Amino acid sequence: MERARSLGFSARVAPYVFVAPFLAIFIVFRVVPTIYAVVISTQQWEGTDVVGFVGLTNYAKVFSNPSLGKAFNNTVFYTLGTLLVLIPIPLILAAFLDSGRVVKQTVFRVALFLPALTSLVVVSVLFRIVLAKEGLLNAALGQAGVPNNAWLEASNLSIPAMIIVAAWRWTGINIIYFSSGLVNVPRDLYEAAALDGANAWRTFRSITLPMIQPTVLFVVVLSIIGGFQLFVEPYLLWSFGNSPGNGGLSVALLIYKTAFNNFNFGQASAMGVLLALVILVVSVIQFRLFGGRRFER
């Protein structure tokens, strides 16, 4: 008993005790399902019955799926669009809130964070009203002389509509991420820059960006992973993700439809494995290109 108690307080054992719950959850809900998905991707399913092992046949069928190209292109354009919105805008807002020029900045941070906590059912109802042809967005744009757009009825507007939803939901989250990085920037650097006569843009480019590069990389990686896993936005904006002309079809949504509409779990698992590999390769490239670099001053 005494030996067990001493092991519990041992400097060698304590880290493993604290990490064990996370590892257990990670293995059960991440590692095991991933392995099982790889196994299923090599099986032929008919309905809910496994017919047998088919090797890489499902992977070959994935590339011959006529909807895959459309889904992949939509996913890439959506991801690029969210990067253009969800990196610079939250970064600028976070820097502005951190500047000390905003009264009660905590109130603004909380207000911007609240959309991420909103129920997905509420989000779907809200944005079907906002993005309707006679909805709130068109009413606001009409005041500026912009003609009405059928955001949820035109195929070419499906991706912009989803980017609007994503911007509303995730801007606050990214502001929190960037704010956590800005807190670690030494204040004396800003004071020295002010004494040297540096303007706000020069200070931001030469001090803020280099100092929070790890945070920027972290947010970019998360945004790309989230972009490639696009599912909620198209599924909510259109009934069961049935967007006009498949303008909102994403790879993740195609996986869902293949599995639960067509009951082709083998091919859906193969798509999931390939999507995971794409995300992994893109993430590794980012870390190799930007992980060890600093922004030029």
Would you say residue 27 lies in a domain?
no
Give how many domains the chain has, as a whole number. 1
Q: What is the pLDDT of residue 292?
A: 54
Cβ atoms of residues 97 and 109 within 8 Å: yes
| CATH number, residue 155 | 1.10.3720.10
Q: Which residues contact 245 (CB under 8 A, 6 or more apart)?
A: 155, 158
Q: Which residues contact 212 (CB under 8 A, 6 or more apart)?
A: 178, 181, 182, 184, 185
Give 210-222 as a DSSP string. HHTHHHHHHHHHH
Cβ atoms of residues 155 and 243 within 8 Å: yes
Q: What is the pLDDT of residue 209?
A: 86
Q: What is the pLDDT of residue 44?
A: 85
Range of the domain at 273: 67-290
- Cα 254 from chain centre: 18
Separation of alpha carbons 264 and 244, rounded Å? 24
Would you say residue 2 lies in a domain?
no
Partnered with residue 212 across adjacent β-strands are none
Which of 282, 155, 295 minimizes the C-alpha distance to 222? Answer: 282
Cβ atoms of residues 113 and 173 within 8 Å: yes
Separation of alpha carbons 65 and 20, rounded Å? 42
Would you say residue 95 lies in a domain?
yes
Separation of alpha carbons 192 and 236, rounded Å? 50
Q: What is the pLDDT of residue 5?
A: 55
Cβ atoms of residues 295 and 210 within 8 Å: yes
Would you say residue 30 lies in a domain?
no
Q: Which residues of the chain have pLDDT under 50?
A: 1, 294-297
Which of 250, 272, 105, 281 minimizes the C-alpha distance to 165? Answer: 250
Would you say residue 200 lies in a domain?
yes
Would you say residue 55 lies in a domain?
no
Q: Using alpha carbons, list the distances in angstroms from residue 295 to 99, 204, 207, 282, 290.
A: 21, 11, 9, 20, 9
Partnered with residue 50 across adjacent β-strands are 45
Q: Any idea what the Cα angle at residue 47 is, between residues 263 and 231, rounded to 5°? A: 15
Would you say residue 61 lies in a domain?
no
Would you say residue 278 lies in a domain?
yes
